[in-house]
Structure 1
Amino acid sequence: MLYDEVKAAFLGVDAIRAAAARIRDHGSGEIRVASLFAASHSIVPKAVAIFRRKHPNARVTLLVLPSRDVRDLVASGQFDLGLAADLIDTTGVIHESFLARDALCVLPIGHELASKKVIVPMDLHDVPFIAYLPEDRFRQRIDAVLTTAGAVPRLVVETALAPTALALVAAGVGVTLASPHAIAGFDRSKIAVKQFRPGVEVRVLLLLPSDRPKSLLVRDFIDALMAAR
């Protein structure tokens, strides 16, 4: 009788070990993803669709936040991975370059500059302009390029989010610069998109917790993100 009890106890321990191994290798059946706003309307939805074709029973939690908050959630281990702008504090997270693209100039349909193939800084001098908030590093890069060229756009709106800036352009409020991945999630029939030179690079980082190996679910979601770029 004692042997049977001990055998049952050891079988229980083996079951726990097997469950731990499954969670280690495959994850819990849920993946938690945090993303900056610019990628949340284009790249991330495509990645989720690709991922779910391989893991139809897995549950995805997606939170869209400013980059610094994405970093905090990943660093604390509350989220499995994140996408954030490159100019953040990366202490406490594993980070790698995910995307690097030049910003594009976005104009209202019928704008007088819409006939040009390439927009340069002086084209925007005294033109109604939609800018990001002063503390935004992308805004600071744009300002540096405009200032170097001596161009002073007429600032009409400041906003934190690329989708808001694009909606303002579509409404005819002014022009803006935005990343290609932000524009990809917007209705292109409502805006005119042009190259902008010199280039203002937009870089996105992939963030992972520093104290956790990648589960199979995390590895597959990263593969889906790469395919969706």
Structure 2
Amino acid sequence: MIRFRQIEAFRYLMTTGTTVGAARRMHISQPAISRLIADLEEDLGFKLFNRAKGRMEPTTAAVRFQLAVEENFLGLERLRKAAETIRNDESEGLTVACMPALSTSLLPLILKEFFKTNPGVPVKIDSVGDAEVLVRLQDLKVDVAISLAFPAIAGIEVEPILQAQVLCALPPGHRLCERELITPEDLAGENVIGWTPHSHLDHSPEDKYFPPGVIKPYFPIRTHTSHTRYAMVAHGFGVSIVEPFAFKVWEAHGIVVKPFQTKATHDYVLAYPSTGRRSALVQDFRNATMQVIRDPDLVPWQAGPF
């Protein structure tokens, strides 16, 4: 039976070119590397290396086998890392991945509800961007995530939870602060804090918020984080089209928000690793999330549930 340790030794030997290099990478002796390779050759039924003058030259079969190893090794490595994570956990708890804007606004409200039924349960929060949220889920490093909606991705299950209105954030004293509703036409000639895409899959927010026929504003600053957009507005660099949740954090800095006329919404999901089972803690977290988002006093900017 082929063992992971044998494949690991073969992979390191192919990449370093010597048993000395492979032994250093695996923190074992050279004879141990040789034994692992010999056992692997016996299990495979063909020779991987020609041994001559103290050197091990890969055979054609080894080169072909390496291609198959590289295709499958990453899956084995993910399993090994997942096992290490589970083994190193000091106590059972909950790990949540969350965008920075939500981790400082919506998530604290959810955790207040969660701790009502799970007092003392340790919770680890990974406050990361959208792309890193997906990596955390696929690598089984988090139990659940709160994220903007994203296209279907292997290894991740999603549950749509809410749609939120798009707002226009204005600095104190701005000429549009008295308006009840801000339109794209209102921002002609304005400095708008713009967006950098999270990935190549993103559609340009400029196209969503400023459709054809509308004079686009100027974009002197672009960023991919909501909190940075709010900060730039607070310091008077311009206005911005923003998600609503971080507003409470920036309200103390004098920022004014108004509804923005657009068909676009911010769609949010709960996301889970596709393991087939969810723990009781994950289920309690989901219940707490639903409790919060259904409360109009806690989530006043909701455009409607899915």
Per the shorter chain, which TM-score range? Answer: 0.7 to 0.9
1:150 aligns with 2:214: yes
In proportion to residue count, which structure has more strand?
1
1:222 aligns with 2:270: no
Give TM-score scaled by structure 2 length.
Answer: 0.62
Identify the residue that residue 10 of structure 1 maps to in structure 2. Answer: none
Identify the residue that residue 67 of structure 1 maps to in structure 2. Answer: 130
2-structure distance, mates of 1:106, 1:183: 8
Identify the residue that residue 41 of structure 1 maps to in structure 2. Answer: 104
Structure 1 residue runs of 5 or longer lacking an equivalent are: 1-27
Deviates more, 1:183-192 or 1:53-62: 183-192
Asked which structure has the greater CA Rg, the reply is: 2
Q: Deviations over 1:89-143 (max 9, x none)?
A: 5321111112211211110011011111111101111101101114567771343
Give TM-score scaled by structure 1 length.
Answer: 0.81
Q: CA deviation at 1:44?
A: 0.6
8 A contact 1:83–1:207 mirrored in 2 = yes
2-structure distance, mates of 1:125, 1:138: 24
Q: Relative to structure 1, is the Cα distance of residues 222 and 53 closer, same or farther in structure 2, using a 3 angstrom cutoff?
A: same
2-structure distance, mates of 1:184, 1:96: 26
Deviates more, 1:184-193 or 1:104-113: 184-193
Q: Any residues of structure 2 matched to 1:118-197 within 5 Å, and which?
A: 118-134=181-197, 140-187=204-251, 190-197=254-261
Q: Which structure is higher in RCO with an 8 Å CA cutoff and minimum separation 6?
A: 1
Q: Relative to structure 1, is the Cα distance of residues 33 and 189 closer, same or farther in structure 2, using a 3 angstrom cutoff?
A: same
Match among 149, 154, 158 for residue 86 of structure 1 = 149
Q: CA deviation at 1:159?
A: 1.0
2-structure distance, mates of 1:205, 1:156: 31
Match among 29, 38, 60 for residue 92 of structure 2 = 29
Q: How many residues align?
A: 202
Q: Which amino acid counterpart does residue 202 of structure 1 have in structure 2?
A: H
2-structure distance, mates of 1:131, 1:184: 21
1-structure distance, mates of 2:136, 2:127: 11
Q: Which amino acid counterpart does residue 288 of structure 2 have in structure 1?
A: A
Spell out structure 1 runs of 4+ moving beyond 4 A.
134-139
1-structure distance, mates of 2:277, 2:207: 40
1-structure distance, mates of 2:204, 2:96: 28
Structure 2 residue runs of 5 or longer lacking an equivalent are: 1-90, 294-306
1-structure distance, mates of 2:250, 2:291: 20
Q: Deviations over 1:2-31 (max 9, x none)?
A: xxxxxxxxxxxxxxxxxxxxxxxxxx6300
Identity of aligned residues (%): 27
